[in-house]
Amino acid sequence: MYSKEILSLDDVKRVAAAAEAEAKRNNWNVVIAIVDDGGHLMYLQREKVQLGSIDVAITKAKTALMFRRPTKFWEQTVADGRQGYLALKGMLPIEGGLPLVHNDEIVGAIGVSGVQSFQDGQIAQAGVDAL
């Protein structure tokens, strides 16, 4: 029998608070989405940003979780000419999605959308660093 780490709501709130603080520090309005290890939404925050960023943030989080790596990796892979990855279901190769790792286990992911993708990534990293 295996045992596994899971995100608590307190963990999620800590990650979200750190990401929100980074966004506020830079006066960036964004959507912050956090999913659990099954890709289910645990947290969503939207502040003065376009509605389209809601689905983008969620999909970035799910992409980081399902492919077990930052979405920036996929953005660069596609930019390098590997266009076939665009056909993968649920793939969003745009920076701003990061896995949440605890004790070497992926326990969820964060996705951010609303500003430039490298800025989304900066906000997401602040959340990751809080875990």
Residues 96-121 have pLDDT tens digits of 999 999 999 999 999 999 999 999 99
Residues in the chain: 131
Residue-wise pLDDT tens digits, 2-50:
889 999 999 999 999 999 999 999 999 999 999 999 999 999 999 899 9
Sorted by where each starts, the structural domains of the chain and their CATH numbers stand as: 9-130 (3.30.450.150)
Helix axes 52-66, 71-79, angle to 10 degrees: 90
Strand partners, 112: 32
The pLDDT of residue 86? 81
Q: Cβ–Cβ contacts within 10 Å for residue 112, how many? A: 35
DSSP 66: H
**What DSSP element (H or E) covers 36?**
strand 31-36
| Residues sharing a CB contact under 8 Å with residue 60, sequence separation 6 or more, in sequence order | 33, 71, 92, 94, 96, 97, 111, 112, 113, 120, 124
Determine the Cα–Cα distance for residues 126 and 29; give it in Å rounded to an integer: 15
For the record, the structure tokens of 25 come out as 């520090």
Of the candidates 91, 95, 98, 93, the one whose C-alpha atom is nearest the C-alpha of residue 78 is: 93
pTM of the model as a whole: 0.94
Residue-wise pLDDT tens digits, 47-93:
899 999 999 999 999 999 999 999 999 989 888 989 888 877 888 89
The pLDDT of residue 94? 94
The pLDDT of residue 28? 98
The pLDDT of residue 85? 80
Q: Is residue 42 within 8 Å of residue 15, measured between CB atoms?
A: no
The pLDDT of residue 1? 92
**pLDDT beyond 90 at 131:** yes
